[in-house]
Structure 1
Amino acid sequence: MKHLYRFFVDRPYKPQFLIANQYEVKRVIGMGSYGITYLSKNKKTRERCVVKQIRPSKLKNSNTSFYQVEAEILASLDHVRIPKLHDAFHFNGNQFLVMDYIEGVNLEDLLFDQYNRFNELESLEFLKGLIDIVAYLHMHEISHGDLRIPNVMVKNAQLYVIDFGLAVSLKNKSDQETLELIQKDLYDLGDFLLFLLYSSYEPTSRKDRPWTEELSIHPATEHFIKQLLQIETGFKSIYQVRDHLNKTISTIPNHKTST
């Protein structure tokens, strides 16, 4: 019954529908657990934007304060690789956020639909761009909380981080809570790096093996990933991660050819 209820209640707006007499829906670009996102056109500015609607089924019985948190966090940030918040409003009993549209490809599609391949050095260099954005967030006391490959966009070889629905302000958090939230982001970076490395992996056996046996990578890279995943003594800050990554890259043969 719950799924049937959601099917009828959470139907997205159709193309050409005008939200709040200003945002014309072009198409749905995402259907998440809590939100529906639309590529839209701002009729006043004539520019494309992303309109994010909280799922109507979540409005009745759920705590929707996370949408307010997301709006406040986005409004506090000013980074060229993070979409800016332009509006937050209610319309027809629903809640909406409006932000920049990043015209690119998310990394999930890049890997699994377009079959892009990254070797070890390319994967490490690619991670540097994401670390720079995470460093900005942590410097401003924000944990993203969801650094998965669908939430990283690639445009003109530049990375962008989107979807701050699970982001958390570290202000007024205890030292232990802050460390745990930071390490969650760092763990996600390790997982992210594994996705990149596996893009060029060619299985030689049907037998499932751990990544440490399947991937042929430099010992320094393996050690770096283990620290991110807290298999070995973990990092405590994104700055430690950045320093260790640079040292790791310097150990990879021919690392200067990628710069």
Structure 2
Amino acid sequence: MDKIEPFNLGRYKILEELGRGAMGVVYKGLDTGLDRVVAVKTINIHRGAVQLSEDEINKTFMREAQIAGKLSHPNIAAIYDIGVDQGIHFFVMEYVEGATLEDLILKGNKLSLIQKLRVIGSAARTLHYAHMRGVVHRDIKPANMLIIKNKEPKIMDFGVAKLASGNIMDRSDAENIFGTPSYMSPEQIKGEQIDHRTDIFSLGVSAYELLAGRKPFEGKSLQKLLQSIVFEEAEMLSYLDSSLPKDVDSIIMMALKKNQDERFGFASQMADAIDLMIDKLESPKGLPKVIAFEKQRVIQALKRNYLFFADFTDEEILEISKLSSRENFKEGHVIFEEGDRGDKIYVIIEGKVRITQRHGQPDEIELTVLKEGDCFGEMAVIDNSPRSATATVLEGPLTAMSINEIVMRITRPELCVKLYKNLASIISEKLRKTDNIMKELIDKLSKLVGS
């Protein structure tokens, strides 16, 4: 961060420079009205709009700001405000502590393979959220992804994204191409029609760089770099690093296909492929699966003791057990933390789990204690949201059956529907209990107020 002489943009006091790029400068600032730290990004809007009048520029800026404001996702930097002051257009965003993915790559990142894949998968799922709302980022790159404390990516600069159709700044000339050259898709370079699959290509380039420590396409000049992106194939990742599984090659290389139609159709498909890869890597060969137990005994025990399995047939429970892993945790072990990405549900076979929540406060609040037969972690799996609480082994060793969300979704349709129906029933029951607790609290408060 570079120290600067403080100045003001509207009600925002600019404190220091955080970074700069072709599209503008990002500053750390103070919202003097609400007394909170924010990030302020000035936009060099004239660089990409030299053929537009001042009025067109302002209208475009307002429209793009409105697009960004529609996106509300934990992995997207939130837009608080927009403004124009002293002829400077700027966005005001949430201030997030963390290093960019670019910083981590340049410093020889210490992330494990699993952590790297989680970052890529989470970024892909976040892009899918934006794409389903008609927003294409167009400039996905490591510098636009912050890695926050729980190793989750926070995608920035959706404020300069363009709607998937009908924008007046869509030019084919080189001067007005949007994007950073090394991460641009072939169709961006050629000035062709682009869609959400452009972001998939750019994410593929970013993922390749994260995994290999170098970019897939290089050139000694801008022209040679662009030719490489359009015409040359990237080297296989496993050729550069023999420790990388072959499956990683197939995922990243599919994202890097020159032809849009040959890439993943949706970013969620890329995320699913990565999640399956992670599930495979996280299942050590020595870890016994639930199916390793004597089949009939396990099936009857599950149906008898666990409400979740009560209405499944023996054949269905056997199939579920094949999709599941048996996991063992020591007493005091944190299974997942508040804010972590949720991709597994757990059914307790033996032991107890304490569920707590901070919700931004310094002290933890105990929400409940779960015992044998209880299910937890289902809410984050249902809506792909970050974990809303922390799960810690209270009495151990704990034995639990874990099922990965992506594995649930790719199983046969009839079983998939039944699994999600049962999860919905569990969530509904928990909500009813919460509602009853709230009613009791309201009654107590009413009596206190009335006395």
- Quote the Cα distance in structure 2 between the aligned partners of 1:168 and 1:57: 16
Distance 1:139 1:13, change over 3 A: same
- Quote the Cα distance in structure 2 between the aligned partners of 1:248 and 1:179: 32
Matches within 5 A, 1:128-147: 128-147=121-140
Write the deviation string for residues 10-56 of structure 1: whole angstroms up to 9, x where unpaired.
xx994321222x21111112222131221111111111112222338
Is residue 2:195 matched to residue 1:181? yes
Is residue 2:21 matched to residue 1:32? yes
Q: 2:83 aligns to what SS in structure 1?
A: strand
RMSD across aligned positions (CA): 3.4
- Quote the Cα distance in structure 2 between the aligned partners of 1:92 and 1:146: 27
Q: Percent identity?
A: 22
Aligned partner of 1:23 in structure 2 is 12
Matched AA of 1:75: G
Matched AA of 2:7: F
- Quote the Cα distance in structure 1 between the aligned partners of 2:278 and 2:60: 38
Contact 1:86 1:98 in 2 (8 A): yes
Is residue 2:277 matched to residue 1:242? no
Write the deviation string for residues 215-246 of structure 1: whole angstroms up to 9, x where unpaired.
22222111111111016932111222222223
Aligned partner of 2:114 in structure 1 is 121
- Deviation of 1:67 after TM superposition, in Å, equals 3.2
Q: Which residue among 248, 259, 262 is the counterpart of 1:221? A: 248
Matched AA of 2:241: L
Write the deviation string for residues 58-82 of structure 1: whole angstroms up to 9, x where unpaired.
4994644653343122111111222
Stretch moving more, 82-91 or 149-158: 82-91
TM-score (norm 1): 0.77
Distance 1:59 1:159, change over 3 A: closer
Contact 1:143 1:185 in 2 (8 A): yes
Aligned partner of 2:76 in structure 1 is 82
Aligned partner of 1:5 in structure 2 is none
TM-score (norm 2): 0.46
Contact 1:179 1:236 in 2 (8 A): no
- Quote the Cα distance in structure 1 between the aligned partners of 2:47 and 2:163: 22
- Deviation of 1:254 after TM superposition, in Å, equals 4.2
- Quote the Cα distance in structure 2 between the aligned partners of 1:14 and 1:196: 32
Aligned partner of 1:8 in structure 2 is none
Distance 1:43 1:59, change over 3 A: farther
- Larger RCO of the pair (alpha carbons < 8 Å, separation 6+): 1
- Quote the Cα distance in structure 1 between the aligned partners of 2:26 and 2:129: 25
Contact 1:36 1:54 in 2 (8 A): yes
Contact 1:50 1:100 in 2 (8 A): yes
Aligned partner of 1:91 in structure 2 is 85
- Quote the Cα distance in structure 1 between the aligned partners of 2:99 and 2:38: 16
Q: 1:40 aligns to what SS in structure 2?
A: strand
**Aligned length, in residue pairs:** 236
Q: Which residue among 153, 159, 163 is the counterpart of 2:153? A: 159
| Structure 1 unmatched runs, 5+ | 1-11, 201-208
- Quote the Cα distance in structure 2 between the aligned partners of 1:60 and 1:237: 30
Aligned partner of 1:4 in structure 2 is none
- Quote the Cα distance in structure 2 between the aligned partners of 1:13 and 1:251: 46
- Quote the Cα distance in structure 2 between the aligned partners of 1:86 and 1:119: 34
- Quote the Cα distance in structure 2 between the aligned partners of 1:196 and 1:131: 14
Aligned partner of 1:168 in structure 2 is 162
Matched AA of 1:226: M
Matched AA of 1:169: L
| Structure 2 unmatched runs, 5+ | 168-186, 215-233, 285-324, 328-334, 336-343, 345-451
- Quote the Cα distance in structure 2 between the aligned partners of 1:134 and 1:222: 21
Aligned partner of 1:6 in structure 2 is none
Is residue 2:101 matched to residue 1:107? yes
Q: 1:38 aligns to what SS in structure 2?
A: strand
Write the deviation string for residues 157-182 of structure 1: whole angstroms up to 9, x where unpaired.
22200012541212569xx9999421
